[in-house]
Each structure stands twice: as C-alpha cells, then as structure tokens.
Chain A
Amino acid sequence: SQQGEEDPQALSIQEGENATMNCSYKTSINNLQWYRQNSGRGLVHLILIRSNEREKHSGRLRVTLDTSKKSSSLLITASRAADTASYFCATDWYSSASKIIFGSGTRLSIRP
C-alpha cells in the first residue's frame, strides 16, 4: 500500500509557467521527500523537509509541509522543458527509521 497520494495525477503547462503538485499522506512522519523520475529511469532526490519545518526552498523549487493536514506541496517556478517528468512524494515509515513509502506520482508535461 502507498502512504502518499499526489494530486493531480497529470499536469500539462506552458513553458515558463509555475507548476504545483500536492501530496497527502496518512500517518505521522519525521520527514517528507520529493523525487523526480524521467521517463523509464531511476529516481533523483529533489528536496527533503522535516516535520518541524513548514517551508523549504531549493533553486526553483519550493516545498511546504502542513503536518496538521498531513499534506505537502511542491512548486516549480518558471518551468522548463527539462522539468517534464514524474514527481513523487515519499514519507518515512513511522515504525521504520529507514524505509520510505512513495506516492503514486504526478506526471508533469511542459509544453514548449
């Protein structure tokens, strides 16, 4: 079973626009991560936010975390064609310090 669910499942935007993806999860967490996966390839870590943090930035990425609502959002500003990929949130598993559980992902397409 998957802990996180991303919304929307698919998103298509024009190059230069901002993209926002949301993730909801079910149980208490210590941290939440976002990963990117280009078509048919392995995952690349983007950013990690801890449960005591509310917002974090990395380049064009901005992540928020609301533990009261058990939700997170990933904002990509000034999108580029190279941002076309699937984006997954991943939460640590409360009973296991090392295991992370992935959501089902948002497929982002950037139109030129």
Chain B
Amino acid sequence: DTGVSQDPRHKITKRGQNVTFRCDPISEHNRLYWYRQTLGQGPEFLTYFQNEAQLEKSRLLSDRFSAERPKGSFSTLEIQRTEQGDSAMYLCASSPSGEETQYFGPGTRLLVL
C-alpha cells in the first residue's frame, strides 16, 4: 500500500451540478479526515470518521455537503448544487488510532464554472 489515494485528481463542473469525490485511505487506518483548501490558505477541517462513524463535522460543511464511509474503508464526499465558492482543493487524510500524524492524499482540485 503506497498511501492515501484520491479520485478524481481534477474536476471541472458547472454551477448547480453535483460532484462526488472518493478517498482510499492507507489500509487499516481507521481514522479518515476531509479538508478543504483554498489558494494561499491552510487546509480547513471539514469532517472526521472513526471507522464508519462520522464523529465530527465542521460548520463549514453545509447541508449541500455529505460524506460517507460505509464500510470503514474508502470514503466519499458529495457536494450537491455546486456553487462557485466551492472551488477549492479537497484533501483527504488518514491515520491509525492513537497516532496524531495524518497522512494526506494528493487532493482533488474542484473548479466550479
């Protein structure tokens, strides 16, 4: 296993469309995180899973955003009715229990036209 993978790497969509991103964490990492990063800023926490349970959600995660991790392995982040302000890099990270270090994927860059 070579690390956290994310798919797609880039996504261009029109305003109002729905998009879904996938994250495959490092095997046996039971913690999974989603972040959003805009140009010139640090990553902002969106949500966190421990196994299949979504334990925390940021207020940034409006009702248009939903994340799942149905079997405690891969996760999906869906954005409904995309807006231009959703344009950003979406980063996924994973970590094993008891370890503070997070291992990041390459990100999915979203552009909403």
- Mask for B38-50, Cβ within 8 A of A = 1, else 0? 0011111100101
State the interface size on chain B (CB cutoff 8 A): 27
State the interface size on chain A (CB cutoff 8 A): 24
- Pairwise interchain contact B45-A42, C-beta atoms closer than 8 A: no
Interface SS, B side: strand
A88 to chain B minimum Cβ distance, whole angstroms, is: 5
- In the assembled complex, the Cα of A88 lies from the Cα of B43 at a distance in Å of 9
- Pairwise interchain contact B107-A42, C-beta atoms closer than 8 A: yes
A83 to chain B minimum Cβ distance, whole angstroms, is: 18
- Pairwise interchain contact A31-B100, C-beta atoms closer than 8 A: yes
- Pairwise interchain contact A33-B109, C-beta atoms closer than 8 A: no
Chain B residues with CB under 8 Å of A102's CB are 35, 42-44
- Pairwise interchain contact A105-B42, C-beta atoms closer than 8 A: yes
Given A42-B105, A43-B104: A100 in contact with B42 (beta carbons within 8 A):
no
